[in-house]
Amino acid sequence: MITEQNTAKNRPFSKEYENKIFTGQEYLNSLDDGREIWFNGERITNIAEHKAFRNSARSIARFYDAMHDERYQDDLLLVDKNGIVTHKFFAPSYTPRELDEARKAIEVSQRINYGWMGRTPEYKAAFMAHLQDNAGFYQKEFQQNAINWYKKTAEKCLFLNHVLVDPPVDRSKDRVNVKNVFVSVDKEDDKGIYVSGAKMVATGSVLTHGTFVGLTGNITSMMEKDRDEDMAVIFFADMNTPGLKMICRPSYEHDANSAYDAPLSSRYDENDSVIIMDHAFIPWENVLVYRDIDRCKQFYKESGFFNRYNLQAAVRLAIKLEFCIGLFSEGTKASGTAQFRGVQAGTGELIGIKNTLWSLTTSMVNDVVSCGTGVVPNAEVAAALRLYMSNCWDRVREIFESVLGGAPVYTISSNKDLLNVELRPYIEQYYVGTGLEATDRIKLFKLIWDSMYSEFAGRHSLYERNYSGSQDLQRLDLLRQAMASKSLDKCTAMVQKCMDDYDINGWTNTWLT
């Protein structure tokens, strides 16, 4: 049992320690480092000013500026055991109370963008925070790498993405037979390793400082010794690594007509990329695991990442749900249906989903286990929360679609219709809402459209269902955990105890005979 009697090694934020975390402008400047990004057939330069990425970059910059704003610093920051000022989720937690404070810091950070950006900097901090305290998990020659990466990430609150999944091709084959596509080591020398291959899907990677290249449990379960060692690697790559290329999907921000027409997709589009490494050089100081299949298989269980990222994800989704509850409530008011019994039931169900998420995060910060010298949420609770999160968003969309009906499509083609003097009087007469002028009703429902029905919304739905692994894997992980912890045995033992009360001749227990 982990209690508050554990000696906490973090200290409250104090201005006596230098705050070296990026400011928003420093973050934007840091993206101009020569990285290779491809979009619409062109290699992109000056990312922070490009039409496809400008607004999303500035949305991330607000995360950094908040850590220099005195109104938020006590909630967001601490001083770690190295004397580094950092975000509370970028440092390990040593007690349930500290983990709860980290949860609060995630909440403050996520409210900046209303929960609509899933891979903000604190997401990958779920892994980075325990690199120093859990360095003993890694091969001896790479343990100092883990410590160094923790320190430099904590000091600046570096924004990292990760790529764990192989491209969707020939997955029925042994990975060694798809080495021409999947990431594999080409060679090594005294300076580092050279790797080639592709990984998917690097969410928000064009806006990050580096990528963590790893493997999912699904992949490692199929790896074999004396066959797959060239592919048993875990490492970091700076985004400007020579030979590392990012090929972007279409940009919703780029294609947005206006802020009025696309208020979310025009600023919160986390562009997903395929990362291709073409004989990319990875220095030894960026390597955590090399040609070690056993450690690759144990990574998810031992690194603390699985336990912690589900906490960040749940807080983010709960805030996103709060936003959507507000949208739903305003949408039904505008349609004049807010007092209908069935509509109110829909609002209540959305509130119930949101409250369930918050309650599960409370369980996560109190039901903890050790990770290195720190604590992380219990993996069984994290796995249960993961399953709930990946399925609840479909229900949220279903409620919107069922209750609001055709109201979201009762709209205009773009803000330019409102600027047309011939058309404007008709819009003002016929597009009004209950208690709303036409411009305000249209503005509200365009926001609803962008959150639930647009291409941006479709990508969000795909993300919520799949970012945490396949549906089968989520359920199988829960089963394996129950078998390992013997909780499944308790269930079957209870059934056996019940059946022991009787046989073909009647009751065998004493209290019914």
H/E stretch holding 321: helix 305-335
Give the pair of three-digit tokens for residue 129.
């925070």
Q: 468: closest CA among 382, 367, 360, 408? A: 382
> Do the Cβ atoms of 226 and 236 come closer than 8 Å?
no
- Cα within 13 Å of Cα(408), Cβ side: 20
pLDDT score for 102: 98
Whole-angstrom distance, CA of residue 189 vs CA of residue 31: 29
> Do the Cβ atoms of 332 and 404 come closer than 8 Å?
yes
Scanning the structure block, which residue is given the tokens 């080409």? 186
Residues 6+ positions from 467 with CB-CB distance below 8 Å: 118, 203, 313, 390
User: Coil, strand, or helix at residue 32?
Assistant: coil
Residues 6+ positions from 445 with CB-CB distance below 8 Å: 331, 334, 407, 408, 410, 411
Over the chain (513 residues), what is each successive 10-residue block's mean pLDDT?
54 96 98 97 95 98 98 98 97 97 98 96 96 94 97 98 92 88 96 96 95 91 92 97 97 97 98 97 98 93 92 98 98 97 98 98 96 94 96 97 97 97 97 97 98 97 92 93 95 97 94 88
pLDDT score for 6: 45
pLDDT score for 201: 87
Sheet holding 36-39, edge to edge: 42-44, 36-39, 244-248, 272-283, 192-203, 184-188
Distances in Å between the Cα of 488 and the Cα atoms of 115, 245, 300, 388 are: 35, 46, 22, 20
Whole-angstrom distance, CA of residue 258 vs CA of residue 255: 9
Whole-angstrom distance, CA of residue 209 vs CA of residue 31: 7
> Domain 11-303 belongs to what topology?
Butyryl-CoA Dehydrogenase, subunit A; domain 2 (2.40.110)
pLDDT score for 1: 41
The sign of the CA dihedral 76, 77, 78, 80 is positive
Residue type, 214: G
Q: 323: closest CA among 134, 74, 101, 117? A: 117
3-state SS track over 35-89: CEEEECCEEECCHHHCCCCHHHHHHHHHHHHHCCCCCCHHHHEEECCCCCEEECC
pLDDT score for 8: 57
Residue type, 173: K
pLDDT score for 221: 87
User: Coil, strand, or helix at residue 183?
Assistant: coil
Whole-angstrom distance, CA of residue 328 vs CA of residue 320: 12
Delimiting residues of CATH 1.20.140.10 domain(s) in the chain: 309-489
Scanning the structure block, which residue is given the tokens 């205009």? 412
Residues 6+ positions from 137 with CB-CB distance below 8 Å: 295, 298, 302, 303, 372
Give the pair of three-digit tokens for residue 343.
């509509």
Whole-angstrom distance, CA of residue 208 vs CA of residue 158: 8
Neighbours of 362 (CB within 10 A): 12
SS3 content of the chain, % helix, strand, coil (to 5): 50, 15, 35
Radius of gyration of the chain (CA): 25
3-state SS track over 245-277: EEEECCCHHHHCCCCCCCCCCCCCCCCEEEEEE
Give the pair of three-digit tokens for residue 484.
């390992």
Give the pair of three-digit tokens for residue 180.
């021409």
> Domain 309-489 belongs to what topology?
Butyryl-CoA Dehydrogenase, subunit A; domain 3 (1.20.140)
Residue type, 278: D
Delimiting residues of CATH 2.40.110.10 domain(s) in the chain: 11-303
Whole-angstrom distance, CA of residue 309 vs CA of residue 398: 26
- Cα within 13 Å of Cα(46), Cβ side: 3
